[in-house]
Amino acid sequence: MWPRRDLIDLLGIEHPIVQAPMGGESTPEMAIAVSNAGGLGGLGCSFMSLDELRAKAEAIRAGTNRPFNLNFFAHPEPREYAELDAATRARVAPFYAELGLESVPERGVAAVDTFTEAKLSVLLDIRPRVTSFHFGLPPRPMVEALHDAGNLILCSATTVAEARFLAEAGVDAIIAQGWEAGGHRGTFETSFEDFGVGTLALVPQVVDAVDVPVIAAGGIADGRGIAAAFALGASGVQMGTAFLSCPEANIGDDHRAALRQARDDETRLTRAFSGRPARAQNSRYIEAMAEDRAALPDFPTMYGFSDPLREVSEKRGDSDFQFLLYGQAAALNRDLPAAELMERLIDEAQRALKPGS
């Protein structure tokens, strides 16, 4: 049925479609629907407390007896630079004044922890079939502990060098995330926003460089994209933006409206919200912050400076300061429940993969 089965057999799923475990936007309901439809449902867990992580994992397990994926950021601890914080305060102060906010915080606050021993301990109790990481891997003893507990490990790579590192570190499958992808780029080190390799170029080079299954990600929105990924040598796909239009997605009305009106040329990579490059709908704030290529505080402390602006913008219902994350293929989205979207994607891909189609 599928040209390549190594990923399907590895994960114990029916169809080679991985739902991107988007932090904040993915939900247990989405993960359940995708897993029950034969794909790999996922949940972004980095913004959760340990109690919330445990409760939501239990909710997924109550809704499906099939494999699912819990995802975590594995970023370095943010550094503290008083001068950089002061410079950032000066850069965002005019926006605070415009929105009627009284004062800019003295320094950013880390909105999310990296992968910790406490999270590892909870995961060793939960024992999901799959654990995935973004921004690199945790220390090797943590990865080994997860493997020893029966976890399969996935991780994003945005270059061939990152993919080789992951293969050597024992990752079971690699997500080759192209430039087109929405949300945060999985780069191990923070880079300028204008650096990146597109999915079409990245995937075959990663396939040639490693001996583990490769999952293509970035700009894949329908069955044609899935078939193209197989033609490039991938063993499956990861799709995030496509699932944002599902009712199970945890996004607001403004985000849904933006997806319905999306164009191919309206997103850009920005560090202005989190401190790491992320693809989101372009906005006045993003444009203004891009005029100066000066450094910003490390991820995730930049959230401490941008969140107040985002919160006011959300309340006002305008997009000037909202962080509306999605990829370059969002115009191809369908407003369908996740289970129906899976059916549509599988049917489209199968037809596209037939000889002569």
Provide the CATH number for the domain around residue 155. Answer: 3.20.20.70
CA dihedral of 24, 256, 158, 212, whole degrees rounded to 10: 80
- Residue 28's nearest CA partner among 110, 150, 128, 120 is 128
**299 and 174 within one domain:** no
CA angle 12, 13, 17 (to 5 degrees): 135
Q: Is 347 found in the same domain as 331? A: yes
Q: Is residue 38 part of a domain?
A: yes
Same domain, yes or no: 60 and 37: yes
139, 172: one domain? yes
* For residue 213, cis peptide bond before it (omega within 30 degrees of 0): no
Same domain (yes/no): 319, 288:
yes
Sign for the CA dihedral angle at 44, 45, 48, 54 comes to positive
Q: What is the pLDDT of residue 102?
A: 87
Same domain, residue pair 102 and 230 = no
What range does the domain containing 330 cover? 6-77+114-264+325-353
**Is the Cα dihedral 321, 324, 329, 332 positive or negative?**
negative
The pLDDT tens digits along the chain (357 residues) read 899 999 999 999 999 999 999 999 999 999 999 999 999 999 999 999 999 999 999 999 999 999 999 999 999 888 888 899 999 999 999 999 999 998 899 877 766 889 999 999 999 999 999 999 999 999 999 999 999 999 999 999 999 999 999 999 999 999 999 999 999 999 987 665 667 999 999 999 999 999 999 999 999 999 999 999 999 999 999 999 999 999 999 999 999 999 999 999 999 999 999 999 999 999 999 999 999 888 999 999 999 999 999 999 999 998 999 999 999 999 999 999 999 999 999 999 999 999 765
Contact 133, 115 (CB under 8 A): yes
User: Are 87 and 216 found together in one domain?
Assistant: no
Question: Is the CA virtual torsion 58, 63, 64, 70 positive or negative?
Answer: negative
Q: State whether 215 and 314 are in the same domain.
A: no
Residues 198 and 105 in one domain: no
Same domain, 18 and 95: no
Do residue 38 and residue 97 come from a single domain?
no
DSSP E strand boundaries for 210-313: 214-217, 236-239, 267-270, 278-281
The total domain count for the chain is 2
Q: Are residues 215 and 319 in the same domain?
A: no
